[in-house]
């Protein structure tokens, strides 16, 4: 009698599932509220689809901090499935958690539907049109400067002297830089220098902060640079 092996049928990806994978391709991670706000679907539906995507290894669901929403990040299988260029996939770390969460919050905020004066609704910018920090990192030019004990290459960015914001988008022919700052930089001069670097390449820059010290730095820099260029 021949052996019988039952093959479990994989899930059929919906248009929503593909949209979720494209969202997670752009960010270090996103939680269910981010997904719901971007897609316009309700929380329960988003949670159900995220769990199914995780079971099929398109994404990983992870709880890095207690009493906070689970975060979701894309796997290599998810990247391949969505048909986008290969991209490094690495589990989020606790050390980068607050910054990555803040960046995700910031991207979502700028793409929210808003009510206009005529009563209609529109997005200031589409989520897919935001160039994220992860997008930036994917196209950096890197040089091998050594090897680790396990043989893995040690790479150094060739554009280390150029400040890169945490994201940017283009609207009506103008370039807008996005910055998220949870804790103050080492000095006011560092914040000011980053803002000045942004002025060279962007029409305007938006800073989102989570610290009174950063607020004070930015108010001082705004007075020096100009409120029309730093908001």
Residue that wins the pLDDT comparison between 171 and 114:
171
Nearest partner of 57 among 30, 87, 79, 36, judged by Cα: 79
Domains, the chain, in order of start with CATH, read 14-89 (1.10.10.10), 100-231 (no CATH)
List, for residues 176-215, the tens digit of each pLDDT value: 999 998 877 668 888 888 899 999 889 999 999 888 888 8
Q: State how far the Cα of 228 lies from the Cα of 87, in Å rounded to an integer.
A: 36
Distances (CA, A) of 206 to 107, 168, 215: 11, 9, 12
Q: Nearest 10 degrees: CA dihedral of 181, 184, 185, 189?
A: 110
The pairing of strands 204-209 and 174-181 is parallel
Nearest partner of 105 among 139, 66, 132, 82, judged by Cα: 132
The answer to whether the predicted template modeling score (pTM) of the entire model surpasses 0.85 is no
Q: Which residue matches tokens 């499935």?
A: 81
* CA dihedral over 159, 127, 26, 106, signed as positive or negative: positive
List, for residues 42-78, the tens digit of each pLDDT value: 999 999 999 999 999 999 999 999 889 999 999 999 9
């Amino acid at each position: 009698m021949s052996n019988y092996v039952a093959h479990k049928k994989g899930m059929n990806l919906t248009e929503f599932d593909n949209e979720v994978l494209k969202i997670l391709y752009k960010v270090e991670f996103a939680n269910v509220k981010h997904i719901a706000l971007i897609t316009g679907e309700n929380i329960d539906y988003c949670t159900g689809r995220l769990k199914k995507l995780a079971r099929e290894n398109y994404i990983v669901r992870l709880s890095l901090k207690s009493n906070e929403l689970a975060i979701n990040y894309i796997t290599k299988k998810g990247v391949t499935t969505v048909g986008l260029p290969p991209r490094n996939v690495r589990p989020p770390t606790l050390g980068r958690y607050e910054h990555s969460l803040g960046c995700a919050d910031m991207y979502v905020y700028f793409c929210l539907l808003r009510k206009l004066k005529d009563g209609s609704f529109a997005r200031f910018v589409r989520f897919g049109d935001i160039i994220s920090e992860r997008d930036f990192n994917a196209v950096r030019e890197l040089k091998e400067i050594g090897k680790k004990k396990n043989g893995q290459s040690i790479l150094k960015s060739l554009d280390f002297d150029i400040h890169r914001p945490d994201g940017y988008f283009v609207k009506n022919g103008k370039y807008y830089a996005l910055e998220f700052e949870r804790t103050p930089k080492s000095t006011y001069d560092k914040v000011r220098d980053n803002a000045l670097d942004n002025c060279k390449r962007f029409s305007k820059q938006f800073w989102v902060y989570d610290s009174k010290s950063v607020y004070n730095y930015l108010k001082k820099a705004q007075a020096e640079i100009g409120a029309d260029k730093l908001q």
